[in-house]
Amino acid sequence: MRKKQPTKKRRPWIWILTGILVVLALVVTAAIVWGSGIYKQLDGFSKPKEESRFGQFEDNPTVATPKWEGKERVNILLLGGDARGLEKNEVPRSDSILVASFDPVTKKAHLFSVLRDTYVDIDGRGKGRINTAITLGGPQLAMKTVGDLLGLDIQYYVYTDFEGFKALIDTIGGVNFDVEKDMHYTDKADKNKYDIDLKAGYQLLDGDKALQYVRFRHDAMSDFTRTERQRNLLQAVAKELQSTWNILKMQKILQSVSPYIETNLEVSDMLKLGQLGVESHVAGTAQVPPMDMIADENVGGASVLAVKNKDNLLTFVQEKLAEDETLATPSPSPDAEGGSTNSGTTGTN
């Protein structure tokens, strides 16, 4: 259990996965892309340097982004931040971090949520919390830092703030989701604009309620359970985006989220990933580092999460990528002598 820091009050940061969720539905819309404004909206996700919130960062050849050729594993870094109260050229920490990993051969997708206080080596910057990499070198350094932690080449990133998340949810008409417990939190810092007040139960979450759900961390396990909730809601939103009704509304959806999204994905990349995304199934999700591989440490009077053994963590990631949680668990069946044998069928998703 992590100790609460008394010296600095954390903002209610939010990971937003809007961009990649849109990508997952693109293949179904391919027939209408070229005859509508969808292409133009997608192209707007990649901002020119003068319009980018990361325009002050120069490309660093020592942390060059690996190129995806289309046949090897592709990894997308999903970043979310809360830009409230920042000046024009200030970059918020990416306190919500997730990696979507796709294997084009097996058609398996895996989602990893990275704990934001993980204490890591940041290329050329020494050691620090992993969520600070983006403030030191922009998305390029964030991709390199997260990739080094997981042992993966990360080719793409998608960044947005939580206003973009709310816009997406509202435009698709909300998402039906089972809130597992009552969630309440008040914060006067924003004049109670982002208070949390959710009741347990299956319900339709609009943008504001969905934001409350993925922000909530005020329970015993704090960020550990919050990252799990975020992964679960991501899958529900992805399913909604693939519905026929939302496919027909794709241009409107893209218009609603475009102002809030930045990515290095070109439209051609999005279409290839869209094809792969719809053909793939989510084979597993995991938190990185897992609970048994982290240790609390104190650095400069602040609590951080240290990785106990880097090699063990790299092995953990590779084992997770090899798993498929959609496969049916073998069940015992009686054998000829009254014992049991394991038999089962393989499920598909």
Better-predicted residue by pLDDT, 95 or 293: 293
Q: What is the pLDDT of residue 222?
A: 59
Residue with tokens 């240290």: 306
Q: 160 and 257 in contact (C-beta within 8 Å)? A: yes
Q: How far apart (Å, rounded) are the C-alpha atoms in residues 340 and 36? A: 60
Please report the pLDDT score of residue 340 as a whole number. 45
If one counts every other C-beta atom within 10 angstroms of the C-beta of residue 136, the result is: 17
3-state SS class at 183: strand
Look at strands 74-81 and 261-263 and give their pairing. Answer: unpaired
Q: In this structure, what token pair is assigned to residue 230? A: 């975020």
Does 163 or 242 have the greater pLDDT score? 163
Summarize pLDDT for 270-292 with one digit per residue, the tens.
Answer: 878 877 877 788 888 899 999 99
Task: Give the DSSP H or E segment for 201.
Answer: strand 201-205
pLDDT per position as a tens digit, 224-271: 677 778 778 877 887 787 675 666 677 787 788 888 888 888 877 887
Would residue 230 be called left, alpha or beta, if left means φ above 0 and alpha means ψ between -120 and 50 degrees? alpha
Whether the pLDDT of residue 169 is over 80: the answer is yes
C-alpha 302: how far from chain center: 26
Average pLDDT score, the chain: 78
For residues 172 and 33, which has the higher predicted lDDT (pLDDT)? 172
Q: Is 310 exposed, middle or buried (0-12, 13-18, 19+ CB in 10 A)?
A: middle
CA distance 169 to 208: 8
Q: Give the closest residue to 200 by CA, choosing from 216, 214, 181.
A: 181
pLDDT at 309: 96
Which pLDDT does position 237 carry in this prediction? 83
Q: Measure the N-to-C terminal CA separation of the chain; round to a whole number of Å.
A: 36
Helix 207-215 / helix 223-241 crossing angle, nearest 10 deg: 150
Contact 111, 98 (CB under 8 A): yes
Q: How far apart are CA 35 and CA 55, in angstroms?
A: 32
**Secondary structure (3-state) at 270:** helix
Separation in Å, CA 79 to CA 17, 42, 196: 7, 18, 22
Among candidate residues 151, 98, 76, 142, the one with its CA nearest the CA of residue 310:
151
CB 176 within 8 A of CB 187: no
Phi/psi at 83 (5° precision):
-90, 10
CA 121 to chain centre: 21
Tokens of 212: 């409350």
Nearest to 149 by CA among 79, 81, 215, 77: 77
Q: Which amino acid, 224? A: F
Most confident segment among 12-21, 134-143, 275-284: 134-143
CA distances for 189 relative to 25, 144, 239, angstroms: 37, 33, 34
To the nearest 5 percent, what fractions of the chain are helix, strand and coil? Answer: 40, 25, 40
Q: Provide the 3-class DSSP secondary structure of residue 309.
A: coil
- What token pair was written down for 180? 């597992």
**Mean local confidence (pLDDT), 158-168:** 84
- Bridge partners, residue 88, by sequence: none
**Alpha carbons 334 and 261: distance in angstroms, whole number:** 56
Give the whole-angstrom CA distance, residue 304 versus residue 298.
6
